[in-house]
Structure 1
Amino acid sequence: MFYQLKVAKEKDLNRLVAFVDMAGVSSEGFECLIDYFVIMENEEREIVACIGIEPMEDTGLLRSLVVSDKLKQAHILTLFQSIQSLAEQKGLKDLYLVTNKEASVQFLSLMGFDEIDQEKIPSKLMALQHMKESANDANAKIMVKST
């Protein structure tokens, strides 16, 4: 199966929102963030994975990671490499993420993310609704990577 990565464009908004909503993930604010999303499409141009960044000054919060169960770990790795490249192009210095899955921590560590305590989250990121909601989860793990 052939997959293609690309930065989302405004014309991709409706199908990106539909893909994320189908997975039960919030698509709030996507219209303002569309060029901060990387999408992976299959041969039929169907979205099979996505990840986005919610920027705040020179920092970004990774959000809305949705991956089809048909993809392999190598595809997810490529998706993360692409979003990191996009962050660099956009001038973001640090990327933060929140996961509530312990199994993800090891994979993300291999990708260069370090787990941090919630007290070390910049206050500007705590102002983002997505970060506030995610960080309140009792199982939340906060990770950061400098680009």
Structure 2
Amino acid sequence: MFYQLKVAEEKDLNKLTAFANKAGVNSEGFPELIDQFILMEDGNHELVACIGIEPVNEDGILRSLVVSDKLKQAHILTLFQSAQTLSRQKGMKYLYLITNNKASIDFLIMMGFEEISTEEVPVHLLNTEHMRSCLVENDKIVMVKEA
């Protein structure tokens, strides 16, 4: 199957929001962040994956990762690499993410992320709505890598 990556545009907002909501992912803030999303579409222009980057000062928070079960690990790797490229283009120094999926830790480490404690997260990131809402849940793991 052929997949194409692209940076989201205003015209993709409804499609992106519906895709995220169907997966149970909060789409709050999508309109303001639309050009911070990487989308992966199949040959029929249907979304099969997305990842967003919320810029905060010179850092970015990876968020709203949704991946279709059709995709292989290599496709997800490409999605992450594209997000890293976009974050560099936007001048970000570090990328942070929060996960509760222990099975994904090995993959994320392979991608260059390292686990950190919540005490190591910069204050400007802890003040974001996304970080605050994610960190109230138990078993959350925070990871970081250079952009």
TM, length-normalised to structure 2: 0.99
Residue in structure 2 matched with residue 111 of structure 1 by the alignment:
111
Residue in structure 2 matched with residue 127 of structure 1 by the alignment:
127
User: What are the Cα deviations for residues 94-146 of structure 1, in whole angstroms up to 9, with x where unaligned?
Assistant: 00000001111110000000000000011111111111111122110000001
- Find the residue that maps to 2:55 and give its secondary structure: strand
User: What are the Cα deviations for residues 34-87 of structure 1, in whole angstroms up to 9, with x where unaligned?
Assistant: 010000000000000000011111001000000000100000000000000000
Q: Provide the C-alpha distance between the structure 1 equivalents of 2:135 and 2:146, rounded to a whole number of angstroms.
A: 20
- Find the residue that maps to 1:103 and give its secondary structure: helix
Q: Provide the C-alpha distance between the structure 2 equivalents of 1:112 and 1:137, rounded to a whole number of angstroms.
A: 25
Residue in structure 2 matched with residue 35 of structure 1 by the alignment:
35
Post-superposition, which runs of at least 4 consecutive aligned residues in structure 1 deviate over 2 A? none
Between Structure 1 and Structure 2, how many residues are aligned?
Answer: 147
The one-letter code sitting in structure 2 at the alignment partner of 1:89 is Q
Residue in structure 2 matched with residue 97 of structure 1 by the alignment:
97
Q: Provide the C-alpha distance between the structure 2 equivalents of 1:36 and 1:93, rounded to a whole number of angstroms.
A: 15
Residues 22-61 of structure 1 correspond to what in structure 2 (within 5 A)? 22-61=22-61
- Find the residue that maps to 1:133 and give its secondary structure: helix
- Find the residue that maps to 2:137 and give its secondary structure: coil
- Find the residue that maps to 1:40 and give its secondary structure: strand
Residue in structure 1 matched with residue 6 of structure 2 by the alignment:
6
The one-letter code sitting in structure 2 at the alignment partner of 1:93 is K
The one-letter code sitting in structure 2 at the alignment partner of 1:52 is G
Are 2:82 and 1:82 aligned? yes
- Find the residue that maps to 2:40 and give its secondary structure: strand
Q: Provide the C-alpha distance between the structure 2 equivalents of 1:137 and 1:100, rounded to a whole number of angstroms.
A: 9
- Find the residue that maps to 1:70 and give its secondary structure: coil
Q: Which runs of 5+ in 1 are unaligned?
A: none
Q: Which runs of 5+ in 2 are unaligned?
A: none
- Find the residue that maps to 1:55 and give its secondary structure: strand
The one-letter code sitting in structure 2 at the alignment partner of 1:94 is Y
